[in-house]
Amino acid sequence: MKSISKLTDFYYKTLYPSLKELDEERKKIKKRIISIAFLYAIFVIFVLSSLFASHISLDILIFVVAFSIAVGAFFYKYLIKDYTFDFKIKIIEPLIKEIDENLRYSSTLHIPERHFIRSELFSERVDRFSGNDYVRGRIDSIPIEFSDIHAEKKHKDSKGNTSWSTIFQGLFIVSEFNKNFNGTTIVLPDTAQKAFGDLVGNWLQSKNFTRGELVKMDDVSFEKEFVVYSDDQIEARYILSPSLMQKLLNFKKRSKYPLFISFKANNIHMAINYDKDLFEPSVFHSLLEYKVAMEYIETLHLVIGIVEELKLNEKLWSKL
């Protein structure tokens, strides 16, 4: 696999003409959005003031505000549609090809919902599932697929009003191996230990009855960031080799995004919770900024790196 430095060089050197052209287009769209948003805000304020003066009920005012936000979001998506499409075709697709020519990219497809459910990473019921930026192919003969996804749950209050909450939004990765895992091993962000300390946190982790048995790892740094559950303690320790734990720690320290992983049957599932569409460019940040490039590159590098690391560990698993 190409190193991060080589991918960064490719991003800035080979893709630079397209980046510069797209960044000029971004500046124009940004000015257009700001101008339209200013005029739209004045119009909405005028409408709300008129309704308020007419002593309209609070429910109607709330509806108008919500409707205005939805209309604004629609027009924002419409204004950036062509720019987003060009970015994905001119930048993301070539970047993925540079990582490995066997990978195929689609800006509109996404991981099937059944893979998300099968992972057992999130216990909530999924009522709405969407996504985009689907990548599929093989890395060193190992099948892999990933995409941005947004999984949501529906709620209804006592008045019958419907609202939605996000279960997960970010990058979801699935990779398949010839080796079948005997049990299910799940790696989650260690929120309990951070919130309540070692003593109470460990007790709360051990009482998580929706998961398997708590697995205590030897790596102290890893234990502070992640909690591991499995119904096969020995296999969990084979899978989570010192090298793999270090890769996960390094990524966690750099990205600061929650990372979820499960090993089940002959599949590994990874979920990186960005709370946004990772490969949709922001109009308000330059494409030439180093941190913008590194977010794309480091995430893709992590995904491929873990697949390669697990490929190396297949000999270990054969001992089980």
Quick check: 177 and 228 in contact, CB under 8 A?
no
Q: Which of 3, 1, 320 is nearest to 177 (CA)?
A: 320
What type of residue sits at position 264? K
Quick check: 175 and 142 in contact, CB under 8 A?
yes
Ranges of each domain in the chain: 4-317
- Sequential pLDDT tens for the chain (320 residues): 677 788 888 888 898 899 899 999 999 999 999 999 999 999 999 988 888 788 778 778 888 888 899 999 999 999 999 999 999 999 889 988 888 888 899 999 999 999 999 999 998 899 999 999 999 988 777 888 999 999 999 998 887 888 899 999 999 999 887 677 888 999 999 864 444 344 444 434 444 546 678 998 888 899 889 999 998 898 888 888 888 888 888 878 877 788 899 998 888 899 999 888 878 888 998 888 767 777 777 777 777 777 766 665 555 555 45
Q: Which of 283, 120, 242 is nearest to 188 (CA)?
A: 120
The phi, psi pair for 16, rounded to 5°, reads -55, -45
Alpha-helix runs per DSSP H in the chain: 4-9, 16-53, 58-87, 93-99, 113-119, 191-206, 220-225, 233-239, 242-255, 290-312, 314-317
Q: What digits encode the pLDDT tens for the residues 211-224? A: 678 998 888 899 88
**List of residues 6+ apart from 166 with CB closer than 8 A:** 150, 151, 152, 275
pLDDT for residue 207: 45
